[in-house]
């Protein structure tokens, strides 16, 4: 791993230098020494970087799956609202139903935005 790759890794994960040191079990000054090229980055640090990034990716993929499930449930609710069976125990005006539907559609759009923003979160490859 080259110094620039270490810096890019740290920035992708949103870590400060001290945050990277803590996450990797390093002394506080080592990330800066790595980034400045004052110290070689050992293979075990490179592997730890890959592990941390891949762990975050797995967590992110799980969260994206959850967002998709929530979004799909909202879409199903919007579709159901178009039927006569929706809200059988309540009397809503067409205006109220439209307001509910629009609120659900806004939430769907929010989930779509989150999914689009995070689906291409960068992958990390060791030695690449």
Percent of the chain with pLDDT over 70: 88
Q: Are residues 35 and 73 in the same domain?
A: no
Q: Are residues 103 and 64 in the same domain?
A: yes
List the domain range (segments joined by +) for residue 6: 1-41
Mean pLDDT of 36-50: 96
Q: Are residues 35 and 74 in the same domain?
A: no
Q: Are residues 30 and 77 in the same domain?
A: no
**pLDDT at residue 42 tops 50:** yes
pLDDT digits (tens, 9 = 90+) for 59-85: 888 888 898 999 999 888 888 877 766
Q: Establish if 118 belongs to a structural domain.
A: yes
CA-closest candidate to residue 81, choices 66, 102, 67: 102
Distance of alpha carbon 43 from alpha carbon 49, whole angstroms:
10
Q: Are residues 67 and 122 in the same domain?
A: yes
Q: How many angstroms separate the Cα of 99 from the Cα of each of 94, 105, 112?
A: 9, 10, 20
pLDDT digits (tens, 9 = 90+) for 9-33: 999 888 999 999 999 999 999 999 9
Q: Are residues 31 and 63 in the same domain?
A: no
- Domain count for the chain: 2
Q: Establish if 125 belongs to a structural domain.
A: yes
HSE-up of residue 60 (Cα within 13 Å, Cβ side): 17
Q: Establish if 47 belongs to a structural domain.
A: no
């Amino acid at each position: 791993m080259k110094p620039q790759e270490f810096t890019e890794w740290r920035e992708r994960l949103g870590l400060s230098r001290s945050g990277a040191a803590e996450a990797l079990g390093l002394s506080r000054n080592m990330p800066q020494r790595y980034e400045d090229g004052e110290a070689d980055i050992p293979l075990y640090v490179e592997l730890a970087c890959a592990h941390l990034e891949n762990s975050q990716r797995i967590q992110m993929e799980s969260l994206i799956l959850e967002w998709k499930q929530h979004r799909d449930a909202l879409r199903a609710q919007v579709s159901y609202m178009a039927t006569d069976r929706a809200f059988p125990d309540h009397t809503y005006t067409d205006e109220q139903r439209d307001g509910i539907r629009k609120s659900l559609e806004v939430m769907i759009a929010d989930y779509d935005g989150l999914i689009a923003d995070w689906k291409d979160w960068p992958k990390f490859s060791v030695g690449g």
